[in-house]
Amino acid sequence: MAFKKGKKKTGGRAKGVKNKRTREWEAFEKLFMTKIIENVGIELEKLKGKDLLHKAGDFLEYFVPKLARTEITGKDGEDLNINIKVSNDKTKNNLNEL
């Protein structure tokens, strides 16, 4: 029986309800990730000092997104020119202290 425009849907899954395979996959994923996280925690507890910091940094990139590099250019992608003018010797001395 072909679908007729304007006729309400009857039978089948309601909109937004996941099928059996999706529900099973999500349950497996939850169990798998729980076990992985437990094992990672155990392994991290064995580490000390630099090794712990390096491993923690490796995992951190999966939870905190890296910022993309940003290139600053002039108008229409041209080179950006920066001019610094020094008005007196006092200002010049302050710049040297930086």
Q: What is the pLDDT of residues 46-71, one digit of tens each?
A: 999 999 989 888 888 888 877 888 88
Instruction: Specify burial of residue 39 (Cβ count, 10 A radius: 0-12, 13-18, 19+).
Output: exposed
**Average pLDDT over the chain, rounded to whole?**
82
- What's the rounded Cα separation, in Å, for the pair 84 and 98? 15
- Measure the CA–CA gap between 91 and 93, rounded to whole angstroms: 5
* Rg (alpha carbons) of the chain, rounded to whole number: 30
The confidence score (pLDDT) of residue 23 equals: 95
What's the pTM?
0.42
